[in-house]
Amino acid sequence: MSFFTALSGLKAAQTDISSTSNNIANVATLGYHGSRVEFSDIYTSSPQANPRTSVGSGVQISRISRSFAQGSMTSTQNTLDMAIQGAGFFRVEAGKEGGAAVYTRAGAFGMDNEGFVVNSKGQYLTGYKTAADGSPLNLGTAAPLQVPLKQGTAKATANLSFGASFPVGVMGQAGQATVPPAAFDPTNAQSYAFATPLNLLDPEGQPMDAVGYFALADTPDLLDPATRYQFHLVVNGIEVAPDAAAAGETLLEFDADGFLVGGGAPEFTFEGRPLAFDLRQSQLDAARSAMQVSTMQGDGEVARKLSMMELDGDGVLWASISGSRPRFGRNSRMAELTTEIQL
């Protein structure tokens, strides 16, 4: 019997050493809870026996307890690496459509390709939706936290308006060889007077290689005080012909006072899409020796993309989407064993 009593002590000591070794092995494991072995004495005598004369029969492991003491905080370069100061857990679910809830102290999170905040096991961090001021909208329902990767829908430019001032008379000839010009050729700088890039977007929201060319077509004289410029649209190095109904609008006519009195609203069809220009804000400026664009605005749209995230001290997660800064989520700081994350 004494042999088994001593053997129980050896087994208990081995378990204690194993627990300590496991704690040391997991010293760098995020969210790890240290363990401690607790023992109890073994007695084989009846409850009525005199405890003063009873001899124990060894030791047994009563339980292995987990420590929930505050761990150390480590700074990282990942915005979604979070830690809870005090009691509490992160709540995660197995699937984005719901599933069994799991609670963890490990706050190493990242984003998947859909913008969901997940851990290394692919579990989804849950929280509450918030209003614009960061206050939770519904504390009764927690859902997987999803950060929008982009906002808005890309749209091709269909209308472009811009204003510019042009020099008058022979001053508007610039590098153009003759007035009226020779046959227009975008590769021949002597076939036009001025050129300007145009802010046109394709259906994917990407800038197009578009240039507007202005050839001085006529200068003022005693019989005709008008100055005229012929507008040419070139996209990807190829000239786009204007729609027949608006072909005359490509000829910009300015009166003696420098105001646009004719043309300025040409329309084109490019890759099956309509493209209309509004040059009616343009003016003639006798003091200028070169064309100068003052305004340019189109109705094309770019899908804005996520550019930055920031987690503030209150656990509010901010997202910057192409310069905007909407507040859409709240996470982390919890009190007294809170089992839901406020997002």
Residue 258 pLDDT exceeds 80: no
Strand partners, 7: none
- Higher pLDDT among residues 187 and 305, named by residue: 187
Q: Tell me: cis bond preceding 180? Omega within 30 of 0 counts.
A: yes
What distance in Å separates the CA atoms of residue 243 and residue 261, rounded to the nearest whole number?
21
Which class does domain 159-298 fall in?
Answer: mainly beta
Which of these, 181, 250, 256, 241, lies nearest to 215 by C-alpha position? 181
For residues 335 and 88, the answer to whether their CB atoms sit within 8 Å is yes
Q: Say what the pLDDT of residue 209 is.
A: 94
Owner of token pair 């608006």: 246
Q: How many CB atoms lie within 10 A of CB 79?
A: 16
Residue 3 pLDDT exceeds 80: no
DSSP one-letter code for 206: P
Coil/strand/helix, residue 25: helix
**pTM, two decimal places:** 0.59
Residue 115 pLDDT exceeds 80: yes
For residues 318 and 69, the answer to whether their CB atoms sit within 8 Å is no
Q: Cα–Cα distances in Å, from 248 out to 210, 217, 252, 264, 291?
A: 21, 13, 9, 9, 21
Confidence of residue 285 (pLDDT cuts 50, 70, 90): low
Confidence of residue 338 (pLDDT cuts 50, 70, 90): very low
Which of these, 73, 83, 91, lies nearest to 108 by C-alpha position? 83
Coil/strand/helix, residue 275: strand
Coil/strand/helix, residue 4: helix
> Hey, where are the domains in the chain?
2-66, 90-152+304-330, 159-298
> What average pLDDT does the segment 252-260 reach?
81
Residue 195 pLDDT exceeds 90: yes
Residue 204 pLDDT exceeds 70: yes
Confidence of residue 274 (pLDDT cuts 50, 70, 90): very high
HSE at residue 263, side-chain half, CA atoms within 13 A, is 20
Residue 287 pLDDT exceeds 60: no
Q: Cα–Cα distances in Å, from 335 out to 85, 94, 242, 338, 339?
A: 9, 24, 67, 6, 9
What distance in Å separates the CA atoms of residue 277 and residue 196, rounded to the nearest whole number?
14
DSSP one-letter code for 191: G
Residue 156 pLDDT exceeds 90: yes
Q: What is the pLDDT of residues 62-92, one digit of tens each?
A: 999 888 777 777 788 888 888 888 778 888 9
Q: Say what the pLDDT of residue 159 is.
A: 95
The span from the first CA to the last CA of the chain, in angstroms, equals 61
**φ and ψ at residue 4, rounded to 5 degrees:** -70, -30
Q: What is the mean pLDDT of the chain?
A: 82
Owner of token pair 């507008």: 231
Please work out, in degrees rounded to the nearest 5, the angle formed at the alpha carbon of residue 301 by the alpha carbons of 299 and 303: 170
